[in-house]
Structures are given as C-alpha cells and as structure tokens.
Amino acid sequence: MNYRETFSSIYNVLSTLDNNGQTAQYIPELAQVDPEKFGVSLYTNTGELHSFGDAQEKFSIQSIVKVLSLALAYTKLSSKIWERVGVEPSGTPFNSLVQLEYEKGIPRNPFINAGAIVVADILISVLENPEEEFLTFIHSMIGDTSIEYNTSIAASEKSCAHRNLALVNLMKSFENIKNDIDRVMDFYFNICSICMTTDELAKVFSVLSNKGTSLVSEKEILTPRQTKRINAVMQTCGFYDESGEFAFKVGLPGKSGVGGGIVAVHPGEYSIAVWSPKLNKKGNSLLGSKFLEAFTTAVESSIF
C-alpha cells in the first residue's frame, strides 16, 4: 500500500472543503500558530514510518500528553489510581466543572482536564523530580532525548488558566488534590506544553499499538493489560463530548489536543498522528478528525 499517495489524495480532497475551525483562542501562544499547517504520520507495527506534509514540525501536544501522564501514573500506582479518577465518559466539554461538584471531586476520567490535573497531582506525589522524570519516561519510549517542554506556551496558558484553577480548587476542597495547587498546576501546564512532531507522536504511541512495548526503543513501558485499559479509556473518553462520534466515524481509540494534534491507535497494526491546528467547537482538530475518518474508510482499517 502506498500510504503517502493515500494521504496526499485525502488531503487534496479535504483541503478544498470549508475549514471553519479556529486555533485555540484561550491560550495566546496557540492562537498564533499558522492555521494552515498539516502533517500526518503512520507508524506500522512492522516498523515502517510513512509521513506527509509538516510531519517533521514540532507543535504543542496539549491534551495528548494526558495519555502519557496516565501511563506513567498507572505504572506507579497500579489499579489504586482508579480510586482517584474514574473511567466513564463525561459527555461534557474538556474543561467543564459541572460534574465535579456532585461527584465529590472525583473526575469522570483521566482525559478531561480535571482528571489530568488529578493525575498530575499523583505524579507530583510519587516522583522526586517530576519534570525531569516525566521527560525521561517519554524519551524511554522513543529512544531520543530531543523532546522538551515549551516554557513560553506553559507561561501563556498559566496567564489565563481561570477554569483550570477553578477545577483544581474545587477538587482540593474535596481533598482529591494532595499537593500545593500552584505546584500541581505548573507541572500540568509544563506537560501540556511539550512539543513533538507527528513522526515522533506516531512512534511514541507505538507503545499502545504493540501491547505496551515501544517498537522504537524495544522497552516494555506498560503491561499488555494496562495497555488494553488505556486504549479502552481513549476509545470512550479521548474526545470528551465527541468521543462517540470519533468512535462512530473513525473506529479507533485516540486522543486529541488543542494544539490541533490527534493520535489514534490500531492495536496490533499501527499508530497514526495527524496535526491541523484549526479546532471544531468541541476543541478537537477539525481537519484532523475528517482526515482520520477518510483514512480508516479508504484503507478499510478500524477495530470494529
């Protein structure tokens, strides 16, 4: 299969359609990203990398990192992690406050902001040097040490983080945040600011297409059982109140970020990362979602 040709013909069709999305407006640094960027990378379980467009350009992975922070926390806490955060879809936007009050500060799942903030709090408790050890964890998946935090994106998000601060304060009042709020939020903004290319993202996510072992570094990062569970949570919760639609149209577990990235995984087959900065109203890449739908349709490859 000539994947580059498939990518190019899907892109050519989709780029003629209206893309009335917008870059993430609530984070000033992200609002300024070139909205026309587009990159896609497919990494097969046979070790082939197929890319197209701006696939070697770094962008902020934002909420895609929530999968990686969950993975690290899961390896540290094992199933005790589910006492602090649930595994149910929320059916609400990624930054919503409404369920937290009546569910007593236990977020529905680790991929909405509240859940990822709890996971950040867990990592602050269990890691000695959280920022350093988190990067080491990512480096161990890709056998490369060039992946870094972007301090201006982290500072930009911190400067207007009113909703996230409301979430963390509410959870602190229910005693589901154990550490100092400012420390937890700095770590959360830092991990969201991490920049990667679609080539790198597709490679990192080979851990989830290959039962927990990175195809690049050949290191066992997660057990097959942990991998199954993280993929299940991606399938049901990876796109917030659009998770059903993504499953329906694309048919793969995946995760989005407001930087415009989406990663999806076909266990046993491949991982695929796409980047297009304009977002739809649910905060997911508009062209990225359409591209993945067209891709799994064209190659007749989904988990269903």
CB of 153 to ligand DON, least distance (A): 9
Handedness of CA 163, 164, 166, 170 (dihedral sign): positive
Binding mask 144-173 for ligand DON (x = CB under 6 A): -------------x------x---------
Binding flags for ligand DON, 77-96, as an x/- string (CB under 6 A): -----------------xx-
Nearest to 199 by CA among 19, 30, 59: 59
Interface pick for ligand DON out of 6, 44, 63, 235 (rule CB under 6 A): 63
Closest residue to ligand DON, based on beta-carbon distance: 63
Nearer to ligand DON (CB atom), residue 212 or residue 277: 277
Dist. CA 53–CA 57, nearest whole Å: 9
Fill in the per-residue mask, 240 to 279: x = in contact with ligand DON (CB under 6 A), - = not in contact. Answer: ----------------xxx---------------------
CB of 133 to ligand DON, least distance (A): 20
Token duo for residue 85: 């955060």
Residue 134 near ligand DON by CB under 6 A:
no
The dihedral built from the CA positions of residue 273, 57, 113 and 131, taken in this order, carries a sign that is positive
Nearby residues of 126 by Cβ (< 8 Å), 6 or more positions away:
73, 76, 77
The residue from 19, 90, 96, 113 that contacts ligand DON (CB under 6 A) is: 113
42 is a contact residue toward ligand DON (CB under 6 A): no
Q: Which is nearer to ligand DON, 124 or 258 (CB)?
A: 258
CA distance linking residue 135 with residue 69, whole number of Å: 10
The helices-and-strands tally (H runs, E runs) of the chain is 14, 7
Cβ neighbours for 155, distance < 8 A, ≥ 6 positions apart: 189
By the criterion CB under 6 A, which residues form the site for ligand DON?
62-63, 94-95, 113, 157, 164, 192, 256-258, 283-284
